[in-house]
Amino acid sequence: MCEQQYVDPQDYLDIIYQNLYEAEISFRLYCHILKMRSNRRRLEVFEKSPVFLNHIQNISIYDCIMKMTKIMDPKTQGRSGNRENIVFGLLEEVFSDFANEQELAEIKKLTNYLSSELKGIKNIRDKEIAHLDKESRRSQVFRDANKKRKDVRKYLDIQMKLLNIYKRIHCRNAFIPYHFEYFINKDIRYVFSSLYKMAKDLDSKTEMQKELDEKVSRMVAKHNIKKIAKIENEILNKR
Nearest to 36 by CA among 28, 44, 48: 44
- 119: Cβ–Cβ under 8 A, 6 or more apart, which residues? none
Give the per-residue pLDDT at 92: 96
CA angle 84, 85, 89 (to 5 degrees): 100
* Mean pLDDT of the 32-53 span: 83
pLDDT value of position 126 = 86
Torsion, Cα of 218, 223, 227, 229 (10° steps): 110
> 239 pLDDT exceeds 60?
no
Q: What is the pTM of this model?
A: 0.77
Pick 214 or 170 by higher pLDDT.
170
The reported pLDDT for the residue numbered 130 is: 83
Read off the pLDDT band of 96 (50, 70, 90): very high
What is the spatial distance between Cα 34 and Cα 37, in angstroms, rounded to a whole number? 6
pLDDT averaged over the chain? 83
At residue 186, the 3 state secondary structure works out as helix
Q: Which of 15-29, 83-97, 114-128, 197-211 has the lowest mean pLDDT?
A: 197-211
180/127: higher pLDDT: 180
Q: Is the pLDDT of residue 2 over 50?
A: no
Indicate whether 3 pLDDT > 60. no
pLDDT in tens, 145-183: 566 778 899 999 999 999 999 999 999 999 999 999 888
Query: Which range is most confident: 33-37, 53-57, 104-108, 203-207?
Result: 104-108
**Listed residue (56, 55, 58, 53) closest to 42, CA to CA:** 53
